[in-house]
């Protein structure tokens, strides 16, 4: 399985694409999104504005792709996760869809390596212990159908988040030998 976990700052990652935990209007905002826009510079925000002007807001579960400005990655994929409303509002379905949409855009551009943050588990409030297995399963299943995308890394920002993904990855390995 070509899924790996690492602790770190996704803005420093040299992948073909890094994924942003974006909001529907692709506005800079805070969290990993603020960090990506700060490091990428105004070019990323300008491309985001142009994308929304052309296509409208990105619905939760969807994604858009832009250049990466000054970031070391080649492209940024802006994926919109769900806001957590307690778990009864299709959050898991929407979260899985955000990961699948991001991988589909990378695949369509022939990209090989993609780095993800933990979408929705910051400002959007999704409990990480619940989000991690959804994220890993969605990526694992999507990779079964890709020709180009081979190498997915989750770049996790703090140790509790890394530990939650570690547990979920071990669980996924046990359920799918
Ligand atoms: P959301 O609004 O989707 O919840 P956030 O950016 O608030 O997105 O949080 C998503 C995750 O990204 C959280 O685990 C947060 O700690 C993490 N994060 C914040 N900055 C970075 C960064 N520079 N690199 C990787 N992950 C980050």
Ligand 1 centroid–CA 177 distance in Å is 30
Number of domains in the chain: 1
The model's confidence at residue 63, banded by pLDDT at 50, 70 and 90, is very high
To test the ligand 1 pocket, which listed residue (9, 21, 95) has its Cβ within 8 A of the most ligand atoms? 21
Nearest CA to ligand 1 atom 20: 32
Query: Residue 40: CB within 6 Å of ligand 1?
Result: no
CA distance 156 to 57: 27
The share of the chain scoring above pLDDT 70, in percent, equals: 98
With a cut of 80, say whether residue 167 has pLDDT above it: yes
Ligand 1 centroid–CA 145 distance in Å is 27
CA distance 80 to 106: 15
What integer pLDDT is reported at residue 175 of this predicted model?
85
User: Encoding tokens for residue 46?
Assistant: 């300008």
CATH of the domain at 67: 3.40.220.10
Query: Residue 73: CB within 6 Å of ligand 1?
Result: no
The mean pLDDT of 130-155, rounded to a whole number, is 98
With a cut of 90, say whether residue 176 has pLDDT above it: no
CA distance 46 to 51: 9
With a cut of 80, say whether residue 88 has pLDDT above it: yes
The model's confidence at residue 78, banded by pLDDT at 50, 70 and 90, is very high
Q: What is the mean pLDDT of the chain?
A: 97
With a cut of 70, say whether residue 177 has pLDDT above it: no
The share of the chain scoring above pLDDT 90, in percent, equals: 95
User: Encoding tokens for residue 8?
Assistant: 């770190």
Per-residue pLDDT tens over the stretch 114-124:
999 999 999 99
The model's confidence at residue 1, banded by pLDDT at 50, 70 and 90, is low
With a cut of 60, say whether residue 53 has pLDDT above it: yes
What integer pLDDT is reported at residue 8 of this predicted model?
98
Domain that holds residue 122: 2-175
Query: Residue 31: CB within 6 Å of ligand 1?
Result: yes
Nearest to 68 by CA among 116, 104, 16, 141: 16
């Amino acid at each position: 399985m070509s899924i790996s976990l690492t602790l770190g700052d996704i803005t420093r990652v040299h992948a073909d694409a890094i994924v942003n935990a974006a909001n529907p209007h692709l506005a800079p905002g805070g969290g990993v999104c603020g960090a990506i826009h700060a490091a990428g510079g105004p070019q990323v925000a300008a491309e985001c504005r142009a994308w929304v002007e052309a296509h409208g807001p990105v619905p939760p579960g969807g994604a858009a792709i832009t250049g990466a400005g000054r970031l070391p990655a080649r492209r940024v994929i802006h994926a919109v996760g769900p806001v957590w409303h307690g778990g009864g509002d299709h959050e898991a379905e929407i979260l899985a869809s955000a990961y699948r949409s991001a991988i589909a855009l990378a695949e369509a551009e022939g990209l090989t390596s993609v780095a993800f943050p933990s979408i929705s588990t910051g400002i959007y409030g999704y409990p990480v212990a619940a989000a991690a297995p959804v994220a890993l399963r969605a990526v694992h299943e999507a990779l079964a159908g890709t020709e180009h995308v081979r190498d997915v890394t989750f770049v996790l920002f703090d140790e509790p988040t890394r530990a939650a993904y570690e547990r979920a990855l071990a669980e996924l390995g046990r359920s799918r030998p």
